[in-house]
Amino acid sequence: MRPEKIFLAIDLGAGSGRGIIGKFDNKKVELEEVNRFDNQVITLFGHDYWNIYDLYEKIKDSIKKAFIKYNKLDGIGIDSWGVDFVFLDRYGNLIGLPNMYRDSRVDGIPEKFYKIIPKEEIYKETGIQFLKLNSLYQIYSFKLDYPEMFNYVDRILFLPDYLNYLLTGEKLNEYTISSTSQMLRADTKKWSDKILKGIGIKSSLFSEVNEPGNKIGNLDSKVREELSIENIEVFQVASHDTASAIVAVPSKGEDWAYLSSGTWSLLGVELDQPLINEDSYLNNYTNEGGAFNKIRFLKNVSGLWLLQESKRIWEENGFKYTYDELISNASKAKPFSGFINTDADIFLKPDNMPQAINEFLERTSQNKISDHFLMVRVILEGLAFKYREVIEVLDKILNKKLKILHIIGGGSKNMLLNQMTADSTGLQVIAGPSEATALGNILLQAKANGLISGLEEAREIVRNSFELKSFVPQDKNIWDSAYIEYKKIKEKAGDLWKN
């Protein structure tokens, strides 16, 4: 029997990051968190940026803590949210801090770019959904505002690519994170000359895309010296956190969908080839790159962002709740007291989320809500209705009836939302694992080590390693009636409903 391997997953979210150890004995994976840290946003002259230097220091701290605890590491892999990037000069130095995807810089930018390349042509080329936060529009905004800056830009790296560069000295663009940019051709996995020409930048700013499940290089000697540790290999995992998470979906057979539930909800299916047609275009479904040569055909839903922001505002006003308290009390609140579109633009980045929710309710002739727990219930019901909408469109586009929904990620621990989702969609919901992203990260490090042969074996290891919970529809008729009311509000809301 081969000795147990110790891998470190650096899993970065928009609000926080973790260093998570995966102990792999060839049959099971055991996870252990060794470090948790905040991810800071800095506001400068009215624009929001990531404090990438602080993030890098915290990653090094995670590596140091993991190495001290186990006296060895068999690998490191980094995953993060998508679309954000850095500009580097020819010496490898940052040109400014990386922009934050929710920054107002991109307001109105997509509409300007569509005059250069029409939306339908962009979609045929990339297969990627239209979100104003996509890298394409961020980069174009810089091109419009600071054209002379591009005389000095030598390379564009997405955030996990850049952090891998700081650890190894290797400048690579990984496939899954690159695919979120809306600048990669869906069919060839190569950078789109049409899109880059439309932006006005050179293809040489990017490298050929690097597939996950391979070695990047060794930890740089200066980093090893600084941390007083031995050599460690750094592996190319699926750098986009959802792509890593999907590797850890404990699925069998067909007719299943996944929901990666966190700040964002990513709901979709796994395909062997991109699916780009009129229906997918009109419904704004995306074809993002996956590990093991898969396509993540999915829809972005706002997710638990509304709940997280509401909790933050309540805390600022002196109301300290745990998430368990909020969910427990919401389960006792009156059902269907309000209907919202969790994806409406009004919820993208409001100064005060509860106020934004009440504004939405008031503008759609619904009663405003003052009770915090009732508002939590309205948020969760809104998500469950949104999931049903997405599933119905998926069934139509795929010409099949999905039967099982696998909910993974931190949101899979929300038992109330899991049951609401089963009731709303009529599907069996299987919840877990909650640490799917870190788990997928670690499994891809194991693949790069030659310890895992493919996706089926990886998912068998997941099923062997974690307890899963099943939810079946209980109040389908009641939810069907409420869904009719939800759609009536949708019709009444008009442009307010749009996202």
Q: Please state, in angstroms and rounded to a whole number, the distance separating the CA atoms of residues 168 and 163.
A: 9
Phi first, then psi: give them for residue 167, nearest 5 degrees.
-85, -30
List all residues 6 or more positions away from 217 whose beta carbon is below 8 Å from its beta carbon: 168, 169, 170, 233, 234
Domain 5-240: CATH architecture, name and number where available: 2-Layer Sandwich (3.30)
pLDDT in tens, the chain (499 residues): 457 999 999 999 988 999 999 999 999 999 999 999 999 999 999 999 999 999 999 999 999 999 999 999 999 999 999 999 999 999 999 999 999 998 999 999 999 999 999 999 999 999 999 999 999 999 999 999 999 999 999 999 999 999 999 999 999 999 999 999 999 999 999 999 999 999 999 999 999 999 999 999 999 999 999 999 999 999 999 999 999 999 999 999 889 999 999 988 999 999 999 999 999 999 999 999 999 999 999 998 989 999 999 999 999 999 999 999 999 999 999 999 999 999 999 998 899 999 999 999 999 999 999 999 999 999 999 999 999 999 999 999 999 999 999 999 999 999 999 999 999 999 999 999 999 999 999 999 999 999 999 999 999 999 999 999 999 999 999 999 999 999 999 998 999 997 7
Please state which of the four CATH numbers 3.30.420.40, 3.40.50.1220, 3.30.565.10, 3.40.50.11900 is assigned to the domain occupying 251-432+468-499. Answer: 3.30.420.40
Residues of the chain with CATH 3.30.420.40: 5-240, 251-432+468-499
Q: Please state, in angstroms and rounded to a whole number, the distance separating the CA atoms of residues 65 and 6.
A: 13
**How many Cα atoms are found within 13 Å in the side-chain-facing hemisphere of 299?**
24
The whole model's pTM is what? 0.93
* Size of the chain in residues: 499
Nearest to 224 by CA among 351, 77, 374, 73: 73
Phi first, then psi: give them for residue 325, nearest 5 degrees.
-65, -45
Cα separation values, 95 from 87, 156, 161, 205, 267, Å: 5, 10, 16, 14, 35
Nearest to 406 by CA among 245, 247, 250: 250
Q: What is the pLDDT of residue 433?
A: 97
Structure tokens at 167: 């650890």
Q: What is the pLDDT of residue 1?
A: 44
3-state secondary structure the chain: CCCCEEEEEEEECCCEEEEEEEEECCCCEEEEEEEEEECCEEEECCEEEECHHHHHHHHHHHHHHHHHHHCCCCEEEEEECCCCEEEECCCCCECCCCECCCCHHHCCHHHHHHCCCCHHHHHHHHCCCCCCCCHHHHHHHHHHHCHHHHHCCCEEEEHHHHHHHHHHCCCCEEHHHHHCCCCECCCCCCECHHHHHHHCCCHHHCCCEECCCEEEEECCHHHHHHHCCCCCEEEECCCEHHHHHHHCCCCCCCCEEEEEECCCEEEEEEECCCCCCHHHHHCCCEEEECHHHCEEEEEEECCCHHHHHHHHHHHHCCCCCCHHHHHHHHCCCCCCCCCCCCCCHHHCCCCCHHHHHHHHHHHCCCCCCCCHHHHHHHHHHHHHHHHHHHHHHHHHHHCCCCCEEEEECHHHHCHHHHHHHHHHHCCEEEECCCCHHHHHHHHHHHHHCCCCCCHHHHHHHHHHHCCCEEECCCCHHHHHHHHHHHHHHHHHHHHHHCC
User: Which residues are marked as active site?
Assistant: 241
Q: What is the pLDDT of residue 349?
A: 87
